[in-house]
Amino acid sequence: MTKIVAPTTGFIALTALAEQKRQVTLVAMLDDLGNIGNWDDIIKPALQELRLKHPDMDIKIKLTTTPYNQTRSHILNELSNRTAVDLISLDQIWLGDFASRGFLTDITDHALRWGRLSDWYQTNFDGGVYKGHMVLERSAQGSSGRTRFFEKLGRVH
């Protein structure tokens, strides 16, 4: 006699829950880079690395770009309205304005613990300091990441 065994509904539900990934959407507001390119060369590999390091998460990015001459006011308006933003492109000449409004995080302790400050060109390092505190992690692209998400991942940068 052949027995047919069907899985119970509870088993199916538990399996489906176990396979579901936590949905994470990063919000990025960036300068459109004018005629020199786009952000894909930077964002795609970074997103791929995040996904490899966090296979339990379905990580996506919502990207908004604006022309340079509109980027500052666009980001300031969104941050003033308390829009959650994870990544911005920030010209260092705007640093004081963003920092004085409380939109940047003091990362001095994190940067010192990182132990590789000497890897930076001094002019880039100086461009990320406001009133003696490191508030901006500068790269050649001038991007700053909000630490909320990255701290959850156990990474400061």
Count of alpha carbons within 13 angstroms of residue 73, beta-carbon side = 3
What pLDDT, on a 0 to 100 scale, did the predictor assign at position 35?
66
User: Does position 8 have pLDDT exceeding 70, yes or no?
Assistant: no
pLDDT classification of 25: cutoffs 50, 70, 90 = very high
Distance in angstroms (rounded) separating the CA atoms of residues 75 and 47: 22
Rounded mean pLDDT of 57-81? Answer: 93
What pLDDT, on a 0 to 100 scale, did the predictor assign at position 124?
67
Sequence ranges of the domains in the chain: 11-152
Distance in angstroms (rounded) separating the CA atoms of residues 115 and 138: 16
Amino acid at 124: N
Distance in angstroms (rounded) separating the CA atoms of residues 77 and 99: 15
Query: For the segment 33-54, what is each residue's pLDDT rounded down to a tens digit?
Result: 876 667 888 889 999 999 999 9
Beta strand residue intervals within the chain, DSSP E: 22-31, 57-66, 87-89, 129-130, 133-134, 143-145
What percentage of the chain carries pLDDT values higher than 90? Answer: 29
What pLDDT, on a 0 to 100 scale, did the predictor assign at position 5?
39
Query: Are 21 and 57 within 8 A, CB to CB?
Result: yes
Query: For the segment 116-151, what is each residue's pLDDT rounded down to a tens digit?
Result: 777 776 776 677 777 877 765 433 334 444 444 445
What pLDDT, on a 0 to 100 scale, did the predictor assign at position 95?
83
pLDDT classification of 10: cutoffs 50, 70, 90 = very low
Mean pLDDT score of the chain: 74
- Give the domain 11-152 fold: D-Maltodextrin-Binding Protein; domain 2 (3.40.190)
User: Does position 71 have pLDDT exceeding 50, yes or no?
Assistant: yes
Q: Where are the alpha helices (DSSP H) in 81-120?
A: 95-100, 108-114
122 or 29: which leads in pLDDT: 29
